[in-house]
């Protein structure tokens, strides 16, 4: 956390002393700690600083940092999200602690089982096929996200608070939503949380809607969930999907996977851009993250190479 936070600040020409706020995101169960902010505030420069911790998902930390600046709470903010499943004796059992104790814990519910239940809906609908080499039917090992330790850090700043031309991307909009926790009370194949999050962006900023995207990074619970997301987005074949790699190639954990994909979407903004071509079309990318069992919650953030709310 220290190395990554320091590198992000240095790249922006800042230190922890001139950051107006710090937003952290970790998972106490995965990290094996109680009140993780006590261990993370120090290495991220948050001691005696305006520091906030969000435990829901790393992508929520990025959205919250964005909202802080939109609300006038400072000119810049450092966002740091991490996960360290290597410190957990059994990550699957840790995920079980998120399950309702009387029914779901008794069946051993975790992210993998929930993803398999969700995928079985799409198999029943005929839009997916079960793998003959299923790790947990209908999903094979390569259908599932990779697991590993990871940390991501980003500096967000308002226009004018950084040297012109030093920005990686402009944030155009963000949306997020959560639906019913009860997986038996919702259609697992519908991705209702994502639909709601996308609807928020489309209402506020139609120019940031999926039909304008050039690339999208999706942190699905399975490759089937990624494909279902693409179907919902109804995007053209020219839109690059998960250019940073497949789910199994991204070693992370569910809590921080969405933030990782949003960071990849930010890096993707500059792809194939010609810095000397003033007539070049603005490039627009998006990051999508899910949280909870079988896509209970979803977050979307849209980025652009131009601060104008249009890619024309």
Q: What is the CATH number of the domain that holds 54?
A: 3.40.47.10
* pLDDT one-digit tens code per residue, 200-213: 999 999 999 999 99
Q: Are residues 12 and 139 in the same domain?
A: no
pLDDT at 310 over 50: no
Q: Are residues 73 and 126 in the same domain?
A: no
The answer to whether position 176 is within a domain reads yes
Strand ranges, E, within the chain: 22-25, 51-54, 76-83, 150-157, 170-178, 215-219, 240-241, 284-291, 297-304
Q: What is the pTM of this model?
A: 0.94
Q: Are residues 49 and 114 in the same domain?
A: no
* pLDDT one-digit tens code per residue, 45-56: 999 899 999 989
Q: Are residues 74 and 219 in the same domain?
A: no
Are 302 and 211 in contact, with CB atoms under 8 Å apart? no
pLDDT at 273 over 60: no
The answer to whether position 194 is within a domain reads yes
Show the domain range for 249.
Answer: 109-147+169-312
The answer to whether position 278 is within a domain reads yes
Q: Are residues 143 and 158 in the same domain?
A: no
The answer to whether position 95 is within a domain reads no
The answer to whether position 99 is within a domain reads no
Tally of domains in the chain: 2
Q: Are residues 143 and 157 in the same domain?
A: no
* pLDDT one-digit tens code per residue, 171-203: 999 999 999 999 889 999 999 999 999 999 999
The answer to whether position 92 is within a domain reads no
Q: Are residues 226 and 122 in the same domain?
A: yes
Cis before residue 84, ω within 30 degrees of 0?
no
Q: What is the mean pLDDT of the chain?
A: 91
The answer to whether position 24 is within a domain reads yes
The answer to whether position 102 is within a domain reads no
């Amino acid at each position: 956390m220290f190395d990554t936070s320091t590198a992000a600040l240095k790249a922006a020409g800042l230190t922890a002393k001139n950051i107006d706020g710090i937003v952290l995101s970790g998972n106490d169960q995965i990290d094996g700690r109680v009140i993780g902010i006590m261990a993370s505030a120090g290495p991220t420069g948050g001691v005696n600083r305006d520091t906030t911790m969000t435990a829901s998902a790393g992508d929520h930390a990025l959205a919250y940092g964005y909202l802080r600046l939109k609300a006038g709470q400072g000119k810049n903010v450092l966002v740091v999200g991490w996960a360290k499943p290597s410190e957990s004796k059994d990550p699957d059992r840790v995920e079980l602690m998120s399950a309702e104790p009387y029914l779901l814990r008794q069946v051993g519910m975790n992210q993998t089982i929930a993803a398999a239940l969700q995928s079985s809906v799409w198999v029943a609908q005929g839009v997916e096929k079960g793998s003959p080499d299923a790790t947990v039917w209908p999903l094979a090992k390569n259908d599932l996200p990779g697991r590993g330790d990871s940390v991501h850090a980003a500096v967000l700043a308002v226009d004018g608070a950084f040297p012109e031309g030093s920005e990686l991307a402009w944030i155009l909009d963000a949306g997020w939503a959560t639906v019913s926790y009860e997986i038996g009370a919702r259609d697992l194949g519908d991705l209702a949380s994502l639909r709601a999050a996308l609807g928020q962006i489309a209402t506020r900023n139609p120019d940031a809607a999926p039909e304008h995207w050039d690339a999208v990074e999706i942190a699905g619970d399975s490759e089937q969930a990624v494909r279902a997301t693409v179907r919902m987005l109804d995007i053209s074949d020219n839109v690059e999907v998960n250019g940073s790699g497949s789910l199994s190639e991204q070693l992370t954990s569910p809590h921080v996977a969405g933030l990782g994909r949003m960071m990849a979407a930010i890096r993707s903004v500059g792809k194939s851009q010609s810095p000397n071509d003033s007539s070049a079309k603005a490039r627009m990318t998006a990051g999508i993250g899910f949280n909870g069992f079988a896509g209970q919650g979803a977050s979307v953030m849209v980025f652009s190479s131009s601060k104008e709310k249009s890619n024309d």
